[in-house]
Amino acid sequence: MSSNIIFYASFVLLGTFISSLAQVWLKRAAIKKYNNLKDEYFNKSVIAAYSVFIISTLLSVYAYKVIPLSMGAVLESTSYFYVTIFGAYFFKERITMRKIVALLLIVIGIVVYSCSI
C-alpha cells in the first residue's frame, strides 16, 4: 500500500472518529429536557454536533479522491469501536459478550480486506 493511500486513509479514520464524537454530543443533548422544540433542535450542542458531521463528511470526500470506495467502507466500520467505547465511557453502557463478538467479527472483516489488497 502506498504512503499516499495511507495518508488519505487517515482522513477517513479521523472523520470517522470525530463523527463518533458528534454522535455522543447529540445523545447528550437528546437526554436533556427542553421547554420547546425550538430549544431542543436549535441549541449550541446540536448545532456544534451537526457542524462536526459536516467536517467529517468533507474529510471523507477529500479522502475518496485517492482511496478506493471499498477501502473507505472498511475504514468507516471502525466507528463501531469508537461508539462502543464512548458509550461505555460517557453513558456507562455495558459492553456485553454479544458486542464483543460483533466487534471481533468487524476486526476479522478488516483483516480479511487488508490481506486481499
Per-residue pLDDT band for 113 (boundaries 50, 70, 90) equals confident
**Residue 53 has what pLDDT?**
96
pLDDT per position as a tens digit, 21-33: 999 999 999 999 9
**Residue 115 has what pLDDT?**
81
pLDDT per position as a tens digit, 87-110: 999 999 999 999 999 999 999 988
Where do the domains of the chain lie? 3-115
pLDDT over 90 at 2, yes or no = no
Distance CA 50, CA 19 (A): 9
Total-model pTM: 0.85
pLDDT over 90 at 55, yes or no = yes
